[in-house]
Each structure stands twice: as structure tokens, then as C-alpha cells.
Amino acid sequence: MTVSTPDANGNSRDDYVRIFDTTLRDGEQSPGATMNVEEKVTIARQLELLNVDVIEAGFAISSEGDFEGVRRVAQAVTKPVVLSLARTNQPDIERALAAVEKAVRPGIHIFIATSDIHLKYKLQMNREEVLAAVTRAVSFAKRHLDHIEFSCEDASRSDWAYLAAVCEEAIRSGASVVNIPDTTGHAVPEEYGRLYAYLRERVANADKVIWSAHCHNDLGLAVANSLAAIRNGVRQVECTVNGIGERAGNTSMEEVVMALKTRKDLFGVDSQVNTRQIYPASRLLSQIIGQAVPPNKPIVGDNAFAHEAGIHQDGVLKHKLTYEIMKPEDIGIPSNKLVLGKHSGRHAFVERLKELGVDPAYLDLNSVFAEFKALCDKKKVVYDDDILALVTEDARHAGEYYALTSLEVGSSSKSTPSATVTLKVGEQEQTASAIGDGMVDACYKAICKAATADVTLNRYSVKSITRGTDALGEVNCLVAKDGMTVAGQGAHSDIVMASALAFVNALNRLQLRRHACGQRPAGGP
Ligand code: KIV
Ligand code: ZN
């Protein structure tokens, strides 16, 4: 990544804001957002369609699953840089390098904390030791790769002069991107912007690197802080689809991208994101992790373009610009959501897939089309969300430990609801029966017995994805064990079946998460 010389107006062809997407790393660390390798590859392909510049695919040393996720993403995409996170020690860096080895554009992201609080309590290192670690790590990585990003964790709470010394050392050792994270979401826009102005003024060779912003949303300021950073020379923003991430989340990709596009008059720079892929990306992620987008979420929420007030409706009908600052079609929101049904042919189906941001080349089209036709036989109208549910289903079940083989439930006004479940548990089949307060309760108890799983169901919700009594029902649940919470999701035209699928999906995620966390190293982000 190079910085080009600006023209007379201060603009250059390379003067744009790089989008560094960390949905698969920082985003995946958020409660309930665990993804398996196939799901990560599906998201990565969508990120490539979005035309993001960098994909942070994981933290390779943290688990076998993370390593495999980075390795597979590195091979699945060709345009974006694919990188892995690493601490400053050599085993971390070597593992990250191995994971991105096959990428067309490989990179590595090395970080160490720089705030006194982190040095004293977490790292138990002094400032000189941290500086030496930066030199060692960055120069070692530079011998293998060109694209080296260096991050000062908890930068916004670090001593500014020391931060400048660390950045200078990282650049001298070979970093091409320098990131100043607001790890705890503590900064406010004016202050965060000023920090970049200070560093770009103070650090030797500051103009030879790309400065990057990485914000968390604890005070709801992640997007505002990222935009303030851009106003102060930052040309890379680290963000996630739907703003998912640790605690209150990371900078939301769609918000920052659309703010730049909508207010180019003010910022003078834009990103290179294909904004028409924003809505498909948002829906795809939401389907995969089983977390609904809040209706009032800017850009991608269901209400983002809904005008309720009479005066607003009147204005929009007369001229959209009266109350709309963006066009829904620029975000890829389909104008007509209900068209497909049993008479739709393969061509129409493939076109709709493309509109939804799904590349048919990565699907077993014959089988997905057959499933679509089967669904059409059950339902009069198949909606976009039905289709997305169909195409994410395969990735969801890839490599899973538990699988639902059969389910029988019984209930009447005179008997206690009961369920018998057969579950594939690893290589074996287990059958168990239970009674419960309702059919779903009986079914969950039977699944727990068959899986010998002792978990707590913290949340359970059913929604009809579409309209009508034949609609696909979507069940979302939150399941916890030993302080770890995961989300599960299932879709089926039978609600009890959707509930069972969601619960089994959650058990699989729990298994994946427990495996990953068992190996997650200390001192991670
Ligand atoms: O929030 C943070 O500081 C991070 C770093 C590892 C970049 O995620
Ligand atoms: Zn972070």
C-alpha cells in the first residue's frame, strides 16, 4: 500500500479511504457471533463483492479453527489483502504468516498495548521493553511480507509522546500501515481526530504510511470517531458489517461508507466500496450468525427508509429528496421483495441470487434450485429471506458435531407434550425422549438428553420470515454454558422443527466456541 502525491487540489487517484473489514476477527469475537470455517468463507466472498480493501480473517494462533478460517479465506478471495492478527512474539507471527501463505495479497497485523494501564497490569512490561518488542516483531515480519500493519492497542488512553515514539519505531522497522485503536471506546471525536493530527505532525516518515482508525462503540461514538480520524488524514477505517464486535461493537462498515458517500462534499474522499452490496452483506451476516439487525439501525435496518409520519409521507411522495438523503437502491435494498414462486424458472432464481449478493458459482446450484422448488410447493410466494435461509443452510451445517436426524412430537389438549429425538453426535446416533411444558420444551429436553448437554436456554424467539400460514418460521435462541453464550438459528416451515434446528445449531456453535476458547491465548485483544 503506497501513498500517492496529491494533485494541485489536494486530491490523488489513490486518495481514498481503505476499508479494512474485521467482521471475521473482531466481529466474530462478539457474544454469539461465532462462525465456522465455511461460514467465514461465505462472508469473505461477500466482502470481496463489496470491494473492501482488506479482510482481517482471524487470529491464527488462537485456535485450530481460527487458523483454518484464515487459511481458507486467504485462498477464497483474490482482490483484497487478507491478513491475520498476531501479537509481537515469534510463534504468533509465524502462525499468522503460515495462515496467509497462499493469499494473492497476504498481510499481517501485529499489535501490542501501549497504555500504562495495559503495560503495568496486563503485559507487565516497561515502555522500553514494549519498544524493543515492536522493533523485533515488525522487522522479523518484514523479512517475509510487505504488507505489515502495526497497532498500538489501547492507543487512545496512551501517553501521546510515548505513542509517537512507538509509531516511529514501527515505521522504521517496516510497518506500512499504522493503526491507533480506541480499544475501549473511550475517545470522543474532537480528541481522537487531534491525536492523529499530533502523530502525523510528530512522527518521522508519517507521510510514508497509511494511518488507520479502529474504534469500539462503547459510548456510541465509533463511527463519529472514525470520521473525525478521516478528517485528520486517516486513510483506512477498520470496521465490521452491521457494526458487530466486542461489547457494544466496532465501527459499522455501512454507516462509515455511506457517510463518506453522502457527505463527500465535506470529507473530500470516498471509499471504493460497491455500496449496492451493503444490504446483501448485512442480511447474509445476520442470517449466518443468527442476530437480527435492529429495525432502527442506520442504513440497513428495516425502518431506515420507512416514512411513517403523514407529513413525511406526503413530502416523499411529492419528491424523495424532501426526506431521503440516500437512495435505498444505492445500498442494494431490493425494490420488489415478493416475486418468486412455483412458476419461477432457474434463470429468475439465479438473477435473484445475484441481486441478493450471492454468487451462484459457489453453490451446488442443482441442489439449491431443487430445494427452492420444494419450498415453492409448500409456499405460494418465496421471499428474499427464504432464499437467503436456503443458501446459508449448507455453510451453517458444515463440519458440525451434532445433527438432527429425526424428530417426533406429540401433543393434545388431554396429554402432556412429548418429543423423541434422534441426533447424530460425532460419529454416533443417539435417541432420547422427554416430556415438557410444550412441544418445544419437550423437544429441547430430548435434544439435551441425546447430546448429554447441560445448557441454559437464555432467549428464544420465533418470527415468521415472511407472511402467511405457510411462511418459513425463523427461530433464534441464545444458549449458555459456563459463562459462554452462543446464538443458534433455524428456519423451517414447521415451527417445532425450526426450534429444534436452532437449538442444535447453538449446540454446534457452543462446541466450536469452547474448542476455540480452550486454546485462545492470554493477552489477546
Ligand atoms: O481494539 C483493539 O485494540 C484491537 C486491536 C487488536 C487492533 O482489536
Ligand atoms: Zn478491536
Segment among 192-206, 222-236, 395-409, 455-469 with least mean pLDDT:
455-469
The CA 148 to ligand 2 mean position distance, Å, reads 17
pLDDT at 13 over 60: no
C-beta of 249 in contact with ligand 1 (< 6 A): no
The CA 261 to ligand 1 mean position distance, Å, reads 26
Distance of CA 396 to the CA centre of its chain: 15
160-174 confidence digits (pLDDT tens): 999 999 999 999 999
Does an H or E element contain 113, and which? strand 106-113
Give one DSSP letter per residue of 206-237, joined into a string: GGGSEEEEEEB-TTS-HHHHHHHHHHTT--EE
C-alpha dist (Å) from residue 319 to 262, 312, 327, 335: 18, 10, 12, 17
C-beta of 214 in contact with ligand 1 (< 6 A): yes
Q: Is the pTM of this model over 0.85?
A: no
101-155 confidence digits (pLDDT tens): 999 999 999 999 999 999 999 999 999 999 999 999 999 999 999 999 999 999 9
- C-alpha cell belonging to residue 332: 442494494
Residue nearest to atom 6 of ligand 1 (CA): 525
72/40 Cα distance (integer angstroms):
9
- Give the closest residue to 53 by CA, choosing from 284, 357, 271: 271
C-alpha dist (Å) from residue 366 to 17, 391, 438: 40, 12, 38
189/389 Cα distance (integer angstroms):
39
353/372 Cα distance (integer angstroms):
11
pLDDT band at 14 (very low <50, low <70, confident <90, very high): low
Question: φ, ψ for residue 240 (rounded to 5)?
Answer: -135, 155
Nearest ligand (C-alpha, residue 83): 1
Pocket test for ligand 1, best of 183, 238, 520 (most atoms within 8 A of CB): 183
Nearest ligand (C-alpha, residue 245): 2
295/418 Cα distance (integer angstroms):
36
Cβ-contact 332, 280 below 8 angstroms: yes
pLDDT of residue 517: 52
C-beta of 109 in contact with ligand 1 (< 6 A): no
pLDDT at 308 over 90: no
The CA 524 to ligand 2 mean position distance, Å, reads 10
The CA 137 to ligand 2 mean position distance, Å, reads 20
C-beta of 151 in contact with ligand 1 (< 6 A): yes
246-284 confidence digits (pLDDT tens): 999 999 999 999 999 999 999 999 999 999 999 999 999
**Residues paired with residue 456 on neighbouring β-strands, in sequence order:** 480
Cβ-contact 3, 210 below 8 angstroms: yes
- C-alpha cell belonging to residue 162: 510515548
Residue nearest to atom 8 of ligand 1 (CA): 525
The CA 113 to ligand 2 mean position distance, Å, reads 12
C-beta of 436 in contact with ligand 1 (< 6 A): no
Q: Indicate the SS3 state at residue 360.
A: helix
- C-alpha cell belonging to residue 285: 451476516
45/39 Cα distance (integer angstroms):
10
Residue nearest to atom 2 of ligand 1 (CA): 183
**Residues paired with residue 463 on neighbouring β-strands, in sequence order:** 474
Mean pLDDT score across all residues of the chain = 89
- C-alpha cell belonging to residue 496: 417445532
Phi-psi label, residue 100: left if phi above 0, alpha if psi -120 to 50, beta otherwise? alpha
pLDDT band at 522 (very low <50, low <70, confident <90, very high): low
Tracing cell 438523503 back to the chain, one arrives at 325
The CA 376 to ligand 2 mean position distance, Å, reads 43
453/466 Cα distance (integer angstroms):
32
The CA 525 to ligand 1 mean position distance, Å, reads 6
Nearest ligand (C-alpha, residue 156): 1
The CA 171 to ligand 2 mean position distance, Å, reads 21
Query: What does the chain come to in residues?
Result: 525
- Give the closest residue to 272 by CA, choosing from 253, 257, 251: 257
Nearest ligand (C-alpha, residue 152): 1
Strand pairing report for 456-464 and 473-481: antiparallel
C-beta of 115 in contact with ligand 1 (< 6 A): no
381/427 Cα distance (integer angstroms):
38
241/35 Cα distance (integer angstroms):
14
pLDDT at 243 over 80: yes
Atom of ligand 1 nearest to the CA of 179: 7
335/344 Cα distance (integer angstroms):
18
Residue nearest to atom 1 of ligand 1 (CA): 183
321-363 confidence digits (pLDDT tens): 888 899 999 999 876 554 677 888 888 888 888 877 788 888 8
Cα angle: 28, vertex 331, 464; to 5 degrees: 65
Which DSSP state fits 123? I
Atom of ligand 1 nearest to the CA of 151: 7
- Give the closest residue to 80 by CA, choosing from 98, 100, 110: 100
- C-alpha cell belonging to residue 175: 510497518
The CA 212 to ligand 2 mean position distance, Å, reads 12
- Give the closest residue to 61 by CA, choosing from 88, 83, 93: 93
C-beta of 181 in contact with ligand 1 (< 6 A): yes
pLDDT of residue 5: 44
Atom of ligand 1 nearest to the CA of 525: 6
